[in-house]
Amino acid sequence: MLRIHNSLAREKQAFTPIESGKVRMYVCGLTVYDYFHIGNARTLTVFDMVYRWLTTAGYEVKYVRNITDVDDKIIERANRNGEAIEALTARMVAAMHEDCDRLLMLRPSVEPRATHHIDNMLGLIGDLVSKGKAYPASNGDVYYAVREFAGYGKLSGKSIDDLRAGERIAVDGHKRDPLDFVLWKAAKPHEPHWCSCYGEGRPGWHIECSAMSRAELGETIDIHGGGWDLQFPHHENEIAQSEGASGKPFVNYWMHAAFLNMDNEKMSKSLGNVFTTREILVKLDPVQGGETVRFFLLRGHYRSEINYTWDILQEARGALASLYTALRDVPPAPAADFELDWNDPHARRFHEAMSDDFNTPMAFAVLFELRNEINRTRDGRLAALLRALGGTLGFLQADPAAFVQGMAAADETAEIEALIAARAEAKKARNFAEADRIRDEIKARGIILEDGAGGTTWRKA
């Protein structure tokens, strides 16, 4: 029996889908104005893991993950770059897919774009206006009337009165209440816009997910996921919009992935500690880098914050390599001779861990137990089991020898770069004897150094 921690109920609950054997899952995707950062990567990877495990558990899953391709940040970035919005978003969507592929993510069943669902958004807004839950304002905007939805705050635990007292809300004379939020923004010069009965404009951010979820999955869905930071106001507003229009429950199980911190601090542009996933992947060997990052992102439970440092990533890399080394040294039994048996004690414990709110730390512990037994018994069927269990989460499907060789090559590269940096420091300190010694050490490794105006480069002899 699968149990999921439901953010709305604030407890683990047995999972019962709306339709037996089928799951409707919606996850908030990316706003495509830049490469996605490592915190985004955690959320995307978590729900790829959820998608994979639900499929492994026998469910037919329709997984919808949206793309926001019209937004203030997109407009600002396109203007700064001097490029068309469509060109920017097309470039960033392509980059997103490249980076997701390197992290071994499966593509969602559907990946709707906001600009392709304007009519659905306007239809939902029309429903809300007709039911008195939203209103057109004199400035051409359309607002959601928060006080007209009795359940506002039930996901986040915030009350309207507390929000009024404790939040700083910009004064807007066009709103009936400062807490009301925009559904449709009146057109501004030189911004993309669409025609509507409210005038030319574009959608607000929150309405996108309610409209696309309704269009792709229906009025009530099984699972809605996203990062913890989206719980309020985005997901709270989605509930108000969707339930305000339908009068039905919007989501049966809410799931939220916790933050990824950078060196024990929350990521922040002001602190300069925001790194894109692409930046990190570029520093790793292409054979094993993406799987290493994926392994790091899933080692912690999805509801627990995890900490990123380069050293922690390297530790995860070594742990993953130990699993591949076992598979290299003890080749798995041929696929034709092996079938995953969930009654096997290891497989059963793995299944129990994943069925307990997707407990990847406990599932990974089973993989390491298997590694130890493989190293002790040299049993090819255990190796096949290790590979099969890892495969349910997107791991251990690469060629083991190539993976381990890639690790060695990456380690050698790091060592050479460190020696070159040490030689440069020695030359700067005018310690030429030490610089020559380091050069000889590098040469003994079969490496040729080439000093130039731009610094030192190297190649194998």
Mind listing the pLDDT tens digit for each residue in 364-410? 999 999 999 999 999 999 999 999 999 999 999 999 998 888 766 66
Compute the distance between CA of residue 59 and CA of residue 109 in angstroms, rounded to an integer: 14
Could you list the residues known to form a binding site, using ranges.
28, 209, 234, 238, 269
Mind listing the pLDDT tens digit for each residue in 112-149? 999 999 999 999 999 999 999 999 999 999 999 999 99
The chain-wide mean pLDDT, for the chain, equals: 92
Q: Is residue 359 domain-shared with residue 432, that is, in the same domain? A: no
**Structural domain contains residue 139:** no
Average pLDDT over residues 284-306: 93
The pLDDT value recorded for residue 264 is 81
Q: Is residue 109 domain-shared with residue 37, that is, in the same domain? A: yes
In angstroms, the first-to-last Cα distance of the chain is 59
Range of the domain at 36: 19-113+258-306
The total number of structural domains in the chain stands at 3
**Structural domain contains residue 54:** yes
Range with lowest mean pLDDT among 168-177, 211-220, 268-277: 168-177
pTM (2 decimals)? Answer: 0.88
Q: Is residue 317 domain-shared with residue 301, that is, in the same domain? A: no
Could you list the residues known to form a binding site for Zn(2+), using ranges.
28, 209, 234, 238
Distance set, CA 367 to CA 289, 295, 324, 412 (Å): 20, 12, 11, 28
- Answer yes or no: is pLDDT of 217 > 70: yes
Q: Is residue 330 domain-shared with residue 392, that is, in the same domain? A: yes
Mind listing the pLDDT tens digit for each residue in 72-92? 999 999 999 999 999 999 999
The pLDDT value recorded for residue 210 is 98
Compute the distance between CA of residue 72 and CA of residue 85 in angstroms, rounded to an integer: 11
- Answer yes or no: is pLDDT of 454 > 70: no
Q: Is residue 296 domain-shared with residue 313, that is, in the same domain? A: no
Could you list the residues known to form a binding site for ATP, using ranges.
269
Q: Is residue 105 domain-shared with residue 37, that is, in the same domain? A: yes
Q: Which has the closest alpha carbon to 51: 35, 63, 34?
A: 63
Q: Is residue 100 domain-shared with residue 47, that is, in the same domain? A: yes
**Structural domain contains residue 7:** no
The pLDDT value recorded for residue 48 is 98
Q: Is residue 287 domain-shared with residue 328, that is, in the same domain? A: no
Average pLDDT over residues 333-343: 92
The pLDDT value recorded for residue 54 is 98
**Structural domain contains residue 273:** yes
The pLDDT value recorded for residue 400 is 95
- Answer yes or no: is pLDDT of 173 > 80: no
We report the CATH number of the domain holding residue 47 as: 3.40.50.620
Q: Is residue 290 domain-shared with residue 330, that is, in the same domain? A: no
